[in-house]
Structure formats: C-alpha cells, structure tokens
Amino acid sequence: MAALTPNADARPLRLALRADGLACACAGLVLLFGAPVLPGLLGLPLALVLSAGAFLVPFAAVLWLLAARPAPGSRETVPVVVLNALWIAGSAAVVLVAAPTAFGAAFVLAQALAVAGITVVEERALRTVAREAV
C-alpha cells in the first residue's frame, strides 16, 4: 500500500479505529470487572477472561492513539487488521476447544462477528485512503 499523505481523507479510517477502540475498551472493562461472575456464566476459564480483558484495554488505548493521528498509515493500521483477524480466529478456537456454555458460545461468537464487521470497515477505509494517497 502507498504511503499516506495529509491530503488523503483519513476520517473514515480514524472513525473506524475509534469505534474499534471504544468497543475494545468496553469489552475489556466488562471482562476485567466481570471476572468474578463471567467464568461461571460463560463456561470459560478465569485466566482466559482476565487475559482477554488485560489485552483489550491497552489495545484500545493504542487504537485511540492511532485514530488521533491526522493520517494513520498502513504501517500502523495493517497490524490492527491482522490482530483483529487473529482475534476472530482465536474466538472460533475458544468455542471449539474450551467448551463454553451455550450463552458463552453465543457471547464469544457475537463479539467475533462484531470484530469482523469493524475489521472489514477498517480494511476498506485503509484501502480508500491508500488509493487517494497515490
């Protein structure tokens, strides 16, 4: 992908990164503060719930920092798309391997679908900005 210039319209990309950051912050805080009850409700190990929350909160901060840039570049944004794709794959693996409750499986799959949606938006916005920068 081409390097981004200040003339490229990065607003959709910045908005997508902010939405991703907000969703990560909310989910991370729910996982961290809900850790006393979520493992039983979801049928997932406490360590998994806590580590997911502990990853999401700082990841949210990174996303907000990227979104604050006038023109987030592909060098910074492509890893976000890749990490999101890995999160989706990891979510599918959790459902297959960890044997969550029905509610837990629905919860994990619903958040994976939400991540997939925001990832598609980020990837398309990144392509648009890169195309405009050429």
Reported as a single tens digit per residue, the pLDDT across 28-44 is: 999 999 999 999 999 99
Q: What distance in Å separates the CA atoms of residue 72 and residue 61, rounded to the nearest whole number?
A: 15
Reported as a single tens digit per residue, the pLDDT across 4-20 is: 445 468 899 999 999 99
Q: What distance in Å separates the CA atoms of residue 89 and residue 71, rounded to the nearest whole number?
A: 29
Sign of the alpha-carbon dihedral angle for 51, 52, 57, 59: positive
Q: In the 8-state DSSP scheme, what is residue 69?
A: S
Q: How far is CA 123 from the centre of its chain?
A: 12
Q: Quote the pTM value.
A: 0.88
Is residue 64 within 8 Å of residue 120, measured between CB atoms?
no
- CA-nearest of 114, 107, 110 to 34 is 107
Does the pLDDT of residue 47 top 50, yes or no? Answer: yes
pLDDT band at 70 (very low <50, low <70, confident <90, very high): confident
